Amino acid sequence: MTTPLVPAPSGAPLVAPRSAAVTAALGELEGHTVSWFRLEGGKHRGAIGVPEGETLERTVRMGIELGIPVVGVVATSGADVGEGVAALHAWGRVARALTDASGVVPTLLAVVGPCVSGPALLLGLADHVVMTDDAFAYVSGPDTVAAFTGVPTTRNRLGGAAVHDARSGVAALVVHDEDEARLALSHLLEYLPANNLEDPPRAAAIDPIDRDCTAAADAVPARASAAYDVRDVVTDVLDHESFLELRPRYAANMVTGLARLDGRPVGVIANQPAHRAGTLDIEASRKAARFVQWCDAFNLPLVTFVDTPGFEPGRDLEWRGMIRHGAELVHAYATATVPRLGVVLRKAYGGAYIVMDSRDLGNDWCVAWPGAEIAVMGATGAVQILHGRRLAVIADENERAAEHAALVEEYDAQFSNPLVAAERGYIDDVIAATDTRRALGAALGRLATKRDAVLLRPGRHSNTPL
C-alpha cells in the first residue's frame, strides 16, 4: 500500500474538505516540511472544478507564504466538464499560483495516473516532475489527434511516461510506482533550500576532498574523437554516490543533475561525448538553460564540465531556431549569480565553448586539463581553412601529409594549448586531472559566500519554462 505524506504535528488541513478529489495540508516528507496536496479520486478521478482549484491554489500560496516547498501528487482527468467555464478558470488560478511560486520555493509534482487537457500544462510550470511508469500526460488526447491528423495513436504513445522521459523532457525522473515517486521527491529535497532566501543544506563531508581523481583521469581518452561517458568523470570528482542525474534520457548529449562537493549541494552541467559527440543542439541547450536558471534561483553553485566540438550542424536545426535556443543557454549562464566553476576536460571549440560558462560570460573560476584544446575549432579543420590552398599544390601525397601534420602541430601549439588560454586569462590554471576534486573543493570553499545584490530581494526571477 502506498505510504502517504505524513501530516505535520499540527495535523491541521490547509482548507476545510470540500471535495473528495483533493486533500491538502502542511506535512512532512522524509523530514522535510512541505505544503502538499493530493489530487486524485472523486467522481471524475481528480477532475479540477472550483473547489479543487481553490484548494490547490491555497496550498501553493501557503508554501510561498511560509517559505517551504510545494509538493503535489497528481492524477487528474482534466477540468471538470460539468462545471463549464468555471472549471477552466479554476485550474487557471492554480497556474497563476505556481507561476508566483516559481523561483521562490521549490515546486515538485509526482504524476501517478492521468494528467490531461489544460491542467497538464501545470506540469510545465513545476520545477521538476516525477512520473510513474503507468502515468501519462497530454494536452490533446488520442481521439482528437487522430481526428485532426488522421494518424491513430494511443495514450501511451502520445504522452506516456517513456515519451516524457526521452522526448519531451517533461519528466525529470521516471519511477516504478508511487512509493518510489515519494522517495524520489524526498531525494530531490535533500539538495534544496526551503526557499530562495536560504542556502542549500550542507551535509557532513564523508568523502575526502583531497583524494586523487584517478578514475576521472582514466575515463577521458587522449584522442579527441574517441567517445566516453562523462558521468564517469562527474561521479569520481564529486562526493561519492551523491550524483542525482535529472532528465537522463532527454537530450542525452547534455548531462544535468544534482550532487555534492565536500558536502555542499551543487548543480552539474556536462557535455556528453558518448552521445552525438557532445555537440550542442536545440534540446541540449534548452535542457541546460532551464537547469542553470533553476539552480541559480535556489542558490545552488554551478559546476560545468566542458568537452564539446561545437554546435551540431543541420538545416533542420537552424530552421527550428538554433540561434534562439542556443541563446537561452547563453542568457541563463550570463545572468546566474551563484558561484560558477568550470573544468575543460578535452575539447572546447567555437561558440559552444563560449556558451558552456566561459570566463567572459561571468564564470568565477575555470581550469583545464593538460590535454585540453581551447580554440575556435579543431586543428585539422583550422589548418584546412587557413592553409588549404598551400597544401593543395603539393603534388606528393606523403609530403602533403607531412606538411599537414606539421601545420596541425603548429596550430595546436599556438592556439589550442590550454597554457595559451591561461596566459590570456581565459582560464585560471592548467591542473592535473587527478587534482580536479581538490581544486574544485578549494575554489568552491572560497566562493561559497559569494552574494549579489539581486539575491537580497525575494523572487528575483522565475524559473520559466524555456
363/423 Cα distance (integer angstroms):
17
Better-scored residue on pLDDT, 411 or 441: 441
- What confidence tens digit (pLDDT) does each residue in 213-240 have? 999 999 999 888 899 999 999 999 999 9
Q: Where does a domain end: 189, 224, 244?
A: 189
- What confidence tens digit (pLDDT) does each residue in 61-88 have? 999 999 999 999 999 998 888 888 998 9
Q: Is residue 410 part of a domain?
A: no
Answer whether residue 462 shows pLDDT above 60.
no
Q: Taking CA 271 as the corner, what is the angle to CA 175 and CA 230, rounded to the nearest 5 degrees? A: 70
Q: Is residue 406 part of a domain?
A: no
pLDDT band at 11 (very low <50, low <70, confident <90, very high): very low
Q: Which of 347, 306, 346, 313 is nearest to 329 (CA)?
A: 306
Q: Is residue 160 part of a domain?
A: yes
Mean pLDDT, rounded, of the chain: 89
- Give me the pLDDT at residue 365, please: 97
Q: Terminus-to-terminus CA distance in the chain, angstroms?
A: 37
Answer whether residue 453 shows pLDDT above 90.
no
303 SS3 class: strand
Q: How many CB atoms lie under 10 A from the CB of residue 91?
A: 26
Answer whether residue 102 shows pLDDT above 50.
yes
- Give me the pLDDT at residue 1, please: 38
205/360 Cα distance (integer angstroms):
32
- Please give the share of the chain, as a percent, with pLDDT higher than 70: 88
Q: How many Cα atoms within 13 Å fall on the side-chain side of residue 348?
A: 32
- Co-location of 26 and 122 in the same domain: yes
- Co-location of 361 and 255 in the same domain: yes
Q: Is residue 66 part of a domain?
A: yes
106/294 Cα distance (integer angstroms):
9
- Give me the pLDDT at residue 390, please: 76
Better-scored residue on pLDDT, 286 or 386: 286
- Give me the pLDDT at residue 82, please: 80
Q: Which of 256, 265, 219 is nearest to 238 (CA)?
A: 265
- Co-location of 159 and 255 in the same domain: no
* Helices 50-66, 85-101: inter-axial angle, 10-degree rounding: 10
- Co-location of 241 and 128 in the same domain: no
- Give me the pLDDT at residue 414, please: 66
- Co-location of 178 and 282 in the same domain: no
Q: Which of 346, 95, 131 is nearest to 226 (CA)?
A: 346
- Co-location of 47 and 133 in the same domain: yes
Q: Is residue 112 part of a domain?
A: yes
- What confidence tens digit (pLDDT) does each residue in 162-173 have? 999 999 999 999
What is the DSSP secondary structure assignment for residue 344, as one 8-state letter?
E
- Give me the pLDDT at residue 266, please: 98
- Give me the pLDDT at residue 122, please: 96
- Co-location of 42 and 119 in the same domain: yes
Read off the CATH number of the domain in which 228 is found.
3.90.226.10
- Co-location of 121 and 39 in the same domain: yes
Q: Which of 139, 138, 76, 75 is nearest to 112 (CA)?
A: 75
What is the DSSP secondary structure assignment for residue 434, as one 8-state letter?
G
User: Averaged over 127-136, what is the pLDDT?
Assistant: 98
User: Averaged over 208-212, what is the pLDDT?
Assistant: 97
344/353 Cα distance (integer angstroms):
9
pLDDT band at 2 (very low <50, low <70, confident <90, very high): very low
Answer whether residue 377 shows pLDDT above 70.
no
- Give me the pLDDT at residue 10, please: 45
Q: Is residue 304 part of a domain?
A: yes
Rg, the chain, Cα only: 25
Task: Output the DSSP codes for 113-180.
Answer: EEEESGGGHHHHHSSEEEEETT-EEESS-HHHHHHHHS----HHHHHBHHHHHHTS---SEEESSHHH
Q: Where does a domain end: 189, 205, 225?
A: 189
Query: What domain count does the chain have?
Result: 2
**What backbone phi and psi angles, to 5 degrees, belong to 305?**
-110, 120
Q: Is residue 378 part of a domain?
A: no
User: Averaged over 26-51, what is the pLDDT?
Assistant: 88
- Co-location of 77 and 225 in the same domain: no
- Give me the pLDDT at residue 5, please: 58
Q: Where does a domain end: 189, 223, 249?
A: 189
- Co-location of 178 and 229 in the same domain: no
420/427 Cα distance (integer angstroms):
9
pLDDT band at 4 (very low <50, low <70, confident <90, very high): low
49/53 Cα distance (integer angstroms):
6
- Co-location of 173 and 126 in the same domain: yes
Residue matched to cell numbers 495513436: 153
92/115 Cα distance (integer angstroms):
15
Answer whether residue 464 shows pLDDT above 60.
no
Q: SS in 3 state form for 63-87?
A: HHHHCCCEEEEEEECCECHHHCHHH
- Co-location of 325 and 441 in the same domain: yes
Whole domain around residue 317: which residue ranges?
Answer: 214-369+431-456
Answer whether residue 3 shows pLDDT above 50.
no
Q: Taking CA 100 as the corner, what is the angle to CA 288 and CA 362, rounded to the nearest 5 degrees? A: 35
In the chain, the amino acid numbered 402 is A
- Give me the pLDDT at residue 398, please: 80
- Give me the pLDDT at residue 412, please: 66
Residue matched to cell numbers 496550498: 59
Q: What's the length of the chain?
A: 466
Q: Is residue 85 part of a domain?
A: yes
